[in-house]
Structure 1
Amino acid sequence: MEKFSFIAHMPDEPGSLHRAAEIIKKYDGNINRIQFDRRIDPGTVFYEVTADAESYSRITRDLADIGYLQTSLKPLDFLKFCVYLPHQPGALYEFLSYTTSAGANIAGIDFDDRGQYPDRLTVSLNLEQSAVVNKLLDQLKSRYRLEIIEYDKTGKHLDDTVFYVRYAQEVRDLIGESEEAFILSFLADTNHIAQDLMARGCDPRQVFESVLATGRTMNATTGNGFYADVQQFCITDKTTLFCFQVPCGGSIFLIRTPDEMVMIDTGYGIYHNDILAMLSRYDVGEMKKLSRIVVTHADADHYGASGYFSVPVLMHEDTLEITRRNNRAYGSRSEDSVLEAFYTRMINQFSRFRTPPAITCFSRPSGTTRGIFPVIGTIHIGDLDLEVLDGLGGHTCGQVFLYSRLYGLLFAADSVINFGSLTKERADYSSLAAFLVTSVNVDSERAKQERKALLGLALETDQELAKSGRRCLICGGHGAVSVLENGKLVAYGKIERYEAGNPA
């Protein structure tokens, strides 16, 4: 027995759901999930069933025979026009006979004989084939005076009676043309998280809009829309640290020495070309000096561009496993969450995630600890030695932290973030993820433990460095590099704005 999913598009009439259930029952299929909401789309129903392969084949065959099985979500043509009808009984009935025979779905109709245009009927139609549009127009033009107001073949002006077709077209606009099977699967997955979040009191339309807003925001901040907030710090006479806050997602860190450069986190893959252009502006664009990339955790905004570089990538073994399973909640109490699994697939698709060709995993804990964190390796970069600390799995399993007590550096990934340093645009984008997964941490209690222990480590380091007048720089996964002031994170040093559209 296997679990299968499919989408049915049924006539909006009594008995349709019962007829489909009868077919599933006939072949001993067990319905695991069903979702239908007239407020979203009056004819689309989502199913997951358990059956053997032969029974599932017969179920889908019978559903297809009665026109219920949906195998495509190609954009419909949208046609809006005015037609002038004679004032006589049956005029509207005769007109509608033409639209019905053409298989047109009326999205809107407007007529008032006491209005400004008493003989004019305005009609909006959704049609499946361009050939049908031409045939219908030829029929109507030979019978009525006709004025075309709008004819759209992109699917962007469809009304809410074909909500899922319109949604699928917007997904195509974000990721490019894709196989119908992928689009249908993506739609079914989005519907599944909408169903989950509806049970928690959320508006289903907000779910679909948040998914689209995630992709739109990324796309809008590439090319001339790309920007970053940049900080530079001289760590030693030979070593410089750069922090690049890109528009969406995590910060990118670069450590430059005379002999090499090491990148810590890469940002989204969709920003790769923009990032290379930015690095050139700051005289760190000589990629042949890039020797390694260190990935703090598996989220696409920290890891997704690593496959665009041809250098070794260092990460935790659980980060590699998350990549293989395509589920950021792997290894946590949230592993079976529909929300987490969908979000991982969605964000990887929108952000153009690319897996690196050469991966090296850190060692397992050997017994050495730094506070509550096991030490699982050391990274040597010029005259810096950074301890690799194994996290507790609060934000994601496999998240690591990098630490130098001697030079006062703590790369805290997404366990310590100066939220006050985030711009409104970055905060708004981050809120989309928080809404779609309800919490960005796969284990909130462990996340609290990690944050408390890391801040304690930073404070302890600050106290040791005080004699030399230096500070512990906290490099959070998002926001500005910061220091602790009276227990609060405060942005440290100068922050410079880089704008791709500004050549200065």
Structure 2
Amino acid sequence: MSAKYVTTSFQKKVTPYLTTFNDAEKKQFYLDADEAVKELVSMGKDPKQVLWVMQSIGLYLYGNAGKNFYVDYQKIVLSDTCVLWSMQPPGGGCIHLFQTPEGKLLIDAGYGVNYDDWLKTLADLGLGDFSDVKYVLCTHGDADHVGMTGHMPVPPFVHPTTKEILENGSRSFASTNDLVLLEHVYTTTVNTFSQLAFPKEYILSKTDPLRMRGIFPVIDEIRFAGLRFEVWESLGGHLAGQLFFYEPEVGLLFTSDAVLNFATLTPWRLVYGSIPDYLITTVNINSEIGRYERTELMKLAGELDAELRKKGQRLRLCCGHGAVSVLDEAGRLSVSDPVIHYSRRRHTERLHDLFTKVSWRIKRRFI
């Protein structure tokens, strides 16, 4: 079969992002990508724009790596011995890092392409490196939440379905969208372009419910350095096997990608984050369930916050993307702690022009 849409020019542009592929794998990727473009064209999308959006994944990730890497972070002192650092990279999900005398615990692990950037960032912030990480808790199997797990000194804690998704190579597991090809090509593109470092081993969560929190089964518990995380199983709106983590003593709810504080995302993060909507039509494998989950999470968050207020505390919602937030009097997300910008250097005009071009191409469709 010959490619109709994936031109030699496109192949040359994305080849630098396919560093883990041999020639046969590259050929298969181009053929699969061509079929994906064909499917999107049948939905009324322009083939040249589709190829540009695919290429822009690599352009954005590599353009914001190295000297151009930056982080917006919140340093939240939980006790004399425990500090939560919630850190937003240029693209992808937040990394939530607990700093304790017993070592570090991470919730989610960012893109693999930024591993060296994170090492420099942690050192600059006085956090050392990842060598003393004792736990890596992953909310779900998208590359921006599991991408560095293969570089960590301990296996990641994941839902069994997340292990299946990573081993099978497609986020379409249990999807109701009937877009298997698009999901497969998108997963391969992002995993490869972002240099996902696959773990060799996993720590699998339990799956039998211990009790319920609202509509969510509590299926496991993680204890570390005086912290106690309840592990909640999602209903699978965003991705099958997605987990939420709740620490009741200090009042932290990690909502993964079920609840995001969009108002705190920069324009560039919003544009980059809209790419899945363009290439796979929706970021959720079941949008109806995703909306229901968010409604129930916010309802439950309000109830938990009311209980914590009786003890003089507040519930912090640690989102998959965006700033750690509390609920305001109207039940909306409001930034809880100061956000500090860390950057190795200011963006160049060239990068500004690039992102403006990305914005012009795709922002008009979904922001």
TM-score normalised per structure 1: 0.66
Corresponding residue for residue 335 of structure 2: 491
For 2:18 and 2:168, locate their aligned partners in 1 and report how far apart those are by CA, in whole Å: 21
Instruction: Give yes or no for the alignment of 1:319 onto 2:314.
Output: no
Q: Is the 8 A contact 1:310 1:357 kept in 2?
A: no
1:7 and 2:5 matched: no
Q: What do the CA deviations read for 1:286-317 (whole angstroms, capped 9, x no partner)?
A: 43321111110000000011101121210000
> C-alpha displacement at 1:176, in angstroms?
4.4
Query: Given residue 501 of structure 1, which amino acid in structure 2 is its aligned partner?
Result: R
Residue 137 of structure 2: aligned partner = 294
The 8 Å contact of residues 137 and 158 in structure 2, kept in 1 or not, is answered as yes
* 1:288–1:349 distance in 2 versus 1, CA, 3 Å: closer
Alignment of 1:349-364 (within 5 A): 349-364=192-207
Give the strand-richer structure, 1 or 2.
1
Q: Is the 8 A contact 2:228 2:248 kept in 1?
A: no
Q: Distance in 1 between matches of 2:232 and 2:96?
A: 17
TM-superposed CA distance for 1:416, in Å, is 0.2
Q: Report the equivalent of 1:234.
A: 77
2:239 equivalent in structure 1? 396
2:314 aligned residue (461, 471, 479): 471
| Rounded Cα–Cα distance in structure 1 between residues aligned with 2:251 and 2:159 | 23
Percentage identity across aligned positions? 35
CA distance in 2, matches of 1:385, 1:432: 36
Aligned residue among 303, 308, 311 for 1:460:
303
Candidates 263, 270, 276, aligned match of 2:119: 276
Taking the aligned partners of 1:357 and 1:179, their CA distance within structure 2 comes to: 21
Which deviations, in whole Å up to 9, do the C-alpha atoms of 1:454-503 show, x marking residues without a partner?
1112111111122343211101100111111112111221111111237x
Native 8 Å contact 1:373 1:389 kept in 2 = yes
Question: Structure 1: which 5+ residue stretches go unaligned?
Answer: 1-5, 9-35, 41-162
Distance 1:287 1:249 in 2: 19
Residues 130 and 153, structure 2, Cα contact 8 Å, conserved in 1: no
Q: Which of 369, 380, 387 is residue 223 of structure 2 equivalent to? A: 380
- The residue number in structure 1 matching 2:110 is 267
Shift of 1:404: 2.0
Q: TM-score, normalised by structure 2?
A: 0.90
CA gap 1:286/1:274 in 2 versus in 1, 3 angstroms: closer
For CA contacts below 8 A with separation 6 or more, give which structure has more relative contact order.
2
* Backbone CA RMSD of aligned residues: 1.6
Note the C-alpha offset of 1:366: 3.0
**Which one-letter code corresponds to 1:254 in the other structure?**
L
Answer with 232-241 or 210-219: which moved more.
232-241
In 2, Cα distance between the equivalents of 1:348 and 1:178?
A: 12
Q: Summarize the alignment of residues 363-442 of structure 1 with structure 2, pairs less than 5 Å apart.
A: 363-442=206-285
User: What secondary structure does 1:236 align onto?
Assistant: coil
CA offset digits 1:247-283 (Å, max 9, x no partner)? 0110001011111210111100000010111111222
Q: Equivalences for 1:60-459 in 2 at 5 Å?
A: 164-176=7-19, 179-334=22-177, 337-459=180-302
Q: CA deviation at 1:335?
A: 6.2
How many angstroms apart in 1 are the aligned matches of 2:9 and 2:35? 18
Q: Distance in 1 between matches of 2:22 and 2:91?
A: 28
Question: Quick check: 1:334–1:340 contact (8 Å CA) kept in 2?
Answer: no
Question: Helix, strand or coil for the counterpart of 2:161?
Answer: helix
SS at match of 2:2: strand
Distance, in Å, in 1 between the alignment partners of 2:21 and 2:220 is 42
1-side partners of 2:220 and 2:325: how far apart?
25
| Structure 2 SS opposite 1:256 | strand
In structure 1, C-alpha distance between the alignment counterparts of 2:111 and 2:19, rounded to whole Å: 17
The whole-number CA distance in structure 1 between the counterparts of 2:179 and 2:226 is 44
Distance 1:467 1:277, change over 3 A: same
> Deviations 1:332-360 (Å, cap 9, x if unpaired)?
32365211111111100000011112311
Q: Name the SS for the 2:131 alignment partner.
A: helix
Residues 234 and 182 of structure 1, relative CA distance in 2, 3 Å threshold = same
1:382 Cα shift? 1.3
- Which residue is 1:96 aligned to? none
> What is residue 12 of structure 1 aligned with on the other side?
none
Distance 2:178 2:120 in 1: 38
Structure 1 residue runs of 4 or more that deviate by more than 4 Å after TM superposition: none
Asked if the contact 2:255–2:319 (Cα under 8 Å) also holds between the matched residues in 1, the reply is: yes
The one-character-per-residue Cα deviations of 1:197-216 (angstroms, maximum 9, x if unpaired) are 11211111111000000111
Structure 1 residue 367: Cα displacement: 4.4
- Which whole-Å deviations, capped at 9, do the CAs of 1:424-474 have from their partners, x for residues lacking one? 010010111211111000001111121111111211111112234321110
What is the CA deviation profile of residues 173-231 of structure 1, one whole-angstrom value per residue up to 9, with x for unaligned ones?
Answer: 33349543223222212211111111211111111000000111001011001001010
Distance in 2 of aligned mates of 1:319 and 1:444: 19
Contact 2:108–2:137 under 8 Å retained in 1 = yes
- The unaligned stretches of length 5 or more in structure 2 are 347-367
Tell me the distance in 2 between the aligned counterparts of 1:348 and 1:452: 30
